[in-house]
């Protein structure tokens, strides 16, 4: 496994094809490991798996956790090695942004909804770094977790609308045995907050069970669970079509939830079949 920290080193590293990239902000957990394992399965033993680790300042708001975000490079490299990663790209901020970029990706209206309401500018910053990392790593496929469902949807839109010529693969959310979605931010949670955080999964599960009774029943079932929770501030619970447009009829839909547990903001989502 090769560790590269500059664009020049990355370009010079002979990463063969087919090539898959998994982009992360580090603090790797089993959700990231699942993305890396899926990447390996897809490119085969002769292909290459590239992992990027970069905490992107552009996608954090001024009062968010950019400074506090966990940085655990040594253990991240151990996970990467264990998953058979060929190449790691871990640039410094100065390497990726030698100056404040004056040209950035302008997302469509979906970036102002759901997460975008609570994190203005987040998706423009995220798409800008994803665009840069796609150019720099030039993969055949790029894998992203469904845990960040709106992010995955916007990346698919960018790649389609701007003809990036890369296949985007969504990977199902990896959960703890009790249902909590794995997330690097879970490590901020105190023991009691960790218990309270389970309400996100409980609300989604209640919503999924109510799918056969229609959209209103889904929203009611989930909101009943969320309203009963202590120590949890709900930002939104939403029911959307799989492409995050409005629900237009029966069939598959997506429930999305975001809540603050103590000082930690968590998101989760789940599919539901509507009558």
Ligand X SMILES: Nc1ncnc2c1ncn2[C@@H]1O[C@H](COP(=O)(O)OP(=O)(O)OP(=O)(O)O)[C@@H](O)[C@H]1O
Ligand Y SMILES: CC(C)(CO)[C@@H](O)C(=O)[O-]
Question: Which parts of 56-75 interact with ligand BAL (CB under 6 A)?
Answer: 59
4 lies in the binding site for ligand BAL (CB under 6 A): no
Tell whether 185 is in a known binding site: yes
Question: Which parts of 151-210 interact with ligand BAL (CB under 6 A)?
Answer: 151
24 lies in the binding site for ligand X (CB under 6 A): yes
Residue where the block lists tokens 């939830």 = 257
Tell whether 179 is in a known binding site: no
Residues 6+ apart with CB under 8 A from 124: 58, 104, 105, 106, 107, 111
| 109 CB-contact burial (10 Å; exposed 0-12 / middle 13-18 / buried 19+) | exposed
Q: 129 is in the binding site of which of ligand X, ligand BAL, ligand Y, none (Cβ under 5 to 8 A by kind)?
A: ligand Y
* Contact string 110-149 vs ligand X (x = CB under 6 A): ----------------------------------xx-xx-
31 lies in the binding site for ligand X (CB under 6 A): yes
Member of 59, 128, 150, 183 binding ligand X (CB under 6 A): 183
249-252, long-range: CB < 8 A, 24+ apart: 249/274, 250/274, 250/275
Q: 32 is in the binding site of which of ligand X, ligand Y, ligand BAL, none (Cβ under 5 to 8 A by kind)?
A: ligand X
- Whose CB is nearest to ligand BAL? 148
Question: Which parts of 8-27 interact with ligand Y (CB under 6 A)?
Answer: 23-25
**Shortest separation between residue 113's beta carbon and ligand BAL, angstroms:** 16
**Shortest separation between residue 275's beta carbon and ligand BAL, angstroms:** 32
The three-state DSSP-derived secondary structure of 58-105 is HHCCCCCCCCCCCCCHHHHHHHHHHCCCCEEECCCHHHHCCCCCCCCC
**Shortest separation between residue 182's beta carbon and ligand Y, angstroms:** 12
* Contact string 38-67 vs ligand Y (x = CB under 6 A): ------------------x--x--------
Q: Which of 69, 68, 72, 86 is nearest to 28 (CA)?
A: 72
Based on the residue annotation, tell me whether 106 is a catalytic residue of this protein: no
Q: 19 is in the binding site of which of ligand X, ligand Y, ligand BAL, none (Cβ under 5 to 8 A by kind)?
A: none
Alpha-carbon distance of 249 to 200, in angstroms, equals 25
129 lies in the binding site for ligand Y (CB under 6 A): yes
Residues contributing to the annotated binding site for ATP: 25-32, 145-148, 174, 182-185
Residues contributing to the annotated binding site for beta-alanine: 59
- The residues that touch ligand Y, with contacts defined as CB under 6 A, are 23-25, 56, 59, 126, 129-130, 148, 151
Q: Catalytic positions, please?
A: 32
């Amino acid at each position: 496994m090769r560790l590269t920290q500059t664009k020049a080193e990355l370009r010079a590293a002979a990463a063969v094809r087919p090539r898959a990239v998994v982009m992360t902000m580090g603090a790797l957990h089993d959700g990231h490991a699942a993305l890396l394992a899926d990447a390996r399965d897809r490119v085969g033993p002769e292909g290459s798996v590239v992992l990027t680790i970069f905490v992107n300042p552009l996608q954090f708001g001024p009062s968010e956790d950019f400074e506090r975000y966990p940085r655990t490079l040594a253990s991240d490299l151990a996970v990467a090695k264990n998953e058979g990663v060929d190449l790691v790209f871990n640039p410094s901020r100065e390497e990726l942004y030698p100056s404040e970029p004056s040209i950035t990706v302008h997302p469509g209206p979906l970036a102002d909804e759901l997460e975008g309401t609570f994190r203005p500018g987040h998706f423009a910053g995220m798409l800008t770094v994803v665009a840069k990392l796609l150019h720099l790593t030039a993969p055949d496929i790029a894998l992203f977790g469904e845990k960040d469902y709106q992010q995955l949807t916007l990346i698919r839109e960018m790649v389609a609308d701007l003809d990036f010529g890369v296949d985007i693969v969504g990977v199902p959310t990896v959960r703890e045995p009790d249902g909590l979605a794995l997330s690097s931010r879970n490590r901020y949670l105190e023991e009691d907050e960790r218990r309270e955080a389970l309400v996100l999964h409980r609300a989604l599960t209640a919503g999924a069970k109510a799918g056969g009774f229609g959209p209103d029943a889904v929203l009611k079932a989930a909101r009943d669970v969320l309203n009963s929770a202590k120590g949890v501030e709900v930002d939104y619970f939403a029911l959307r079509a799989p492409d995050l447009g409005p629900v237009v009829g029966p069939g598959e839909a997506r429930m999305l939830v975001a809540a603050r547990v103590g000082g930690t903001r968590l998101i989760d989502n789940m599919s539901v079949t509507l009558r």
